[in-house]
Structure 1
Amino acid sequence: MRQSVEIEFASGAGSYAVIRWSGPEVTAQTPTVIAAHGITANGLAFAPLAEALPEVDLVAPDLRGRGRSREVGGPYSIAAHADDLVRTLDELGVERATLLGHSMGGWVVATAAVRHPDRFGGVVIVDGGLGFPLPEDTDLDEFLGTLLGPAMAKLRTVYASREEFLKPWRTHPSFQDGGYTPEVEAYLLRDIIGTEPELRSAGILDAVRGDAADQLQNPEVIGAIHRLPVPAVFLHAERGLLNEPVGLYSPETVAAAKLADAGVDVRFVPGTNHYSILLGDRGIAAVAEAVRALL
């Protein structure tokens, strides 16, 4: 197992928490990858990938309003997260890095590359970052509840025990067939705050709402993937967030986006869903390959 260190620095009303995976292979010359997680996730989602990239200095913050960065406060927006990544590199003394983003993190890293092209050498976007604008009359809470299922429900729920918190994930369709691993459970447990019998998710509902509205309705954020100033890879899963047969991005949707015309290397990852493309063996291998291609 690779060692990880926890770093915190003052930001806004609280502390900004960062996980950094180190080890004997990491030196001053080791390339840095900074990773942005999904809309209700935390930085520990990248722990399995860290094992597959021992030659990389992997840095993964808990984005503001999530995990141990929940107290940072607003503004909650994709641009705020993008700028937080640059501040993280500044705190760590890293001049240039490769970006990696999963789900909402895809919009974050695309926006970071557009806003700060001098700080990043490449972008890997994993099952996110490609916009699908919603009609103006869409009920955002209803849409997110339908799309995210248990990931959204946990933000409104009080749990009597850790086991009660974990139960929906142990039976989650995307973690069947051996996908619920100790690493997945550790990532999920990082999200718990409080004491029994009053446990909650660390995720702040207003943060999720604000970020979701931005990534779904802000033209600058939606269009960032088409304006990337650095080499980029876009990976998309075969299946969806609840392991539906069609992924978040159908092959037709990806084709219609014409990402290749924008210089983006598009890669389909069969046998994966929205979660296992980052947390399962097949997805980890594909993401690690894409990172190495940009290094």
Structure 2
Amino acid sequence: MTIDRVAVSGGDVVVETHTGSSEPVLVVHGVSSQRMLWGWLRAESPHLTLLAPDLRGRGDSVGVAGASSLGRHADDLATVLDALGLDSVHVCGMSMGGFVAVEFAARYPSRVKSLVLVDGGVPVAPPAGLTRESVGAVFADRIARTQQHFETVVEYVDFLVSTSLPLLDPADPLLRAYAEHDLVDGSVRLSTDAVVSDAEDVFFGESRFRELTMPIRFLHAQWSVGENSAPMYSSEDIDALDLTSITPMMGLDHAGTIMTSSGAAAVGATIDEALRNG
């Protein structure tokens, strides 16, 4: 494992590289997440070479100044590849990271060999009643964690499971490692402004998904948050797609698509397919 600090507009983005036997895969986390999201994928697919940045406003990159948006993240990723000496890579994005991956592929198509999108990236209509003005309220559980002090990692894990990760095992050591990366002195390293502005961009920005011509593989969860919840993508959304592959992830909610061993194994298998076939 190596850690690099890459200078971008407003500060340094921190990138963790896990070197395996595969070609490099750039992995892009979600709106309120950070690079330890990929711990489950590393465990299931240790052969993968993963380039995992903390996006601006999150984790070790929380101090990067300036407005956050899908376009800004895409430009940061291009700078990261430049710094690492990479012309083009396969890209995997989860949730908001999928939308960042799409924007990156649209802006820099020659740099993306293929896309793997995990419950995100494919255009989706805003949930009923959601407006630009109400995005902050909808993401209140994510924002709430930044306004609290957590005495222990266990307390923080319990908070995460009780609010946004109900199907995860609080005793999972990978979840503990994920939570530890969030916390410094009991405070969560997450910019609320970045969460809100990025979420606004996902739901109300202009998607460039239809411009893309590289192979796109899409995995989607059965549920959104918790068992029997409505999924992010409806069956009508899925039926309208014409992609390289579409994989339903039954028995998993949004977080479980990558933060469980079964979800990570399915994502790893899809990345392997992309590496073999483009």
Flag whether TM exceeds 0.5 (same fold): yes
Choose which of 204, 215, 238 in structure 1 pairs with 2:202.
Answer: 215
Choose which of 240, 245, 253 in structure 2 pairs with 1:273.
Answer: 253
The yes-or-no answer on 1:15 pairing with 2:12 is yes
Shift of 1:94: 1.5
Cα distance change on mapping 1:243 and 1:141 into 2, 3 Å: farther
Aligned to 1:156: 147
1:219-238 to structure 2, matched below 5 A, reads 219=206, 222=207, 224-238=208-222
| Cα-to-partner distance string for 1:60-105 (whole Å, 9 max, x where unaligned) | 1000011100111223110111121121111111121001000000
Q: SS where residue 149 of structure 2 aligns?
A: coil
Q: How large is the RMSD of aligned CA atoms in angstroms?
A: 2.4
Choose which of 51, 54, 65 in structure 1 pairs with 2:57.
Answer: 65
Q: Does structure 1 retain, via aligned residues, the 8 Å contact 2:29–2:93?
A: yes
Q: Does structure 1 retain, via aligned residues, the 8 Å contact 2:31–2:195?
A: yes
Q: For residues 24 and 168 of structure 2, what CA distance do their matches in structure 1 show?
A: 33
List alignment gaps of at least 5 residues for structure 1. none
Aligned to 1:101: 93
Choose which of 46, 68, 76 in structure 2 pairs with 1:76.
Answer: 68
1:250 counterpart letter in structure 2:
S
The yes-or-no answer on 1:167 pairing with 2:154 is no
Choose which of 221, 231, 252 in structure 1 pairs with 2:236.
Answer: 252
Q: For residues 87 and 124 of structure 1, what CA distance do their matches in structure 2 show?
A: 21
Percent identical among aligned pairs is 27
Q: SS where residue 17 of structure 1 aligns?
A: strand
The yes-or-no answer on 1:282 pairing with 2:262 is yes
1:53 counterpart letter in structure 2:
S
Count of aligned positions: 275
Q: For residues 252 and 149 of structure 1, what CA distance do their matches in structure 2 show?
A: 28
Cα distance change on mapping 1:244 and 1:81 into 2, 3 Å: farther
Q: For residues 176 and 28 of structure 2, what CA distance do their matches in structure 1 show?
A: 19
Q: Does structure 2 retain, via aligned residues, the 8 Å contact 1:174–1:243?
A: no
2:45 counterpart letter in structure 1:
L
1:66 counterpart letter in structure 2:
R
Shift of 1:290: 1.1
Q: SS where residue 258 of structure 2 aligns?
A: helix
Cα distance change on mapping 1:8 and 1:76 into 2, 3 Å: same
List alignment gaps of at least 5 residues for structure 2. none
TM-score w.r.t. structure 1 length? 0.84
Cα distance change on mapping 1:71 and 1:240 into 2, 3 Å: same
Q: SS where residue 150 of structure 2 aligns?
A: coil
Shift of 1:181: 1.2
Q: For residues 117 and 169 of structure 1, what CA distance do their matches in structure 2 show?
A: 36
Q: For residues 254 and 181 of structure 2, what CA distance do their matches in structure 1 show?
A: 20
Q: For residues 144 and 50 of structure 2, what CA distance do their matches in structure 1 show?
A: 30
Q: Does structure 2 retain, via aligned residues, the 8 Å contact 1:110–1:225?
A: yes
| Cα-to-partner distance string for 1:84-127 (whole Å, 9 max, x where unaligned) | 11211111111210010000001000111111111110000001
Shift of 1:266: 1.7
The yes-or-no answer on 1:204 pairing with 2:181 is no
Q: Does structure 2 retain, via aligned residues, the 8 Å contact 1:240–1:248?
A: yes
Shift of 1:134: 3.9
| Cα-to-partner distance string for 1:264-293 (whole Å, 9 max, x where unaligned) | 422111111111110112211211111111
Q: Does structure 2 retain, via aligned residues, the 8 Å contact 1:140–1:209?
A: no
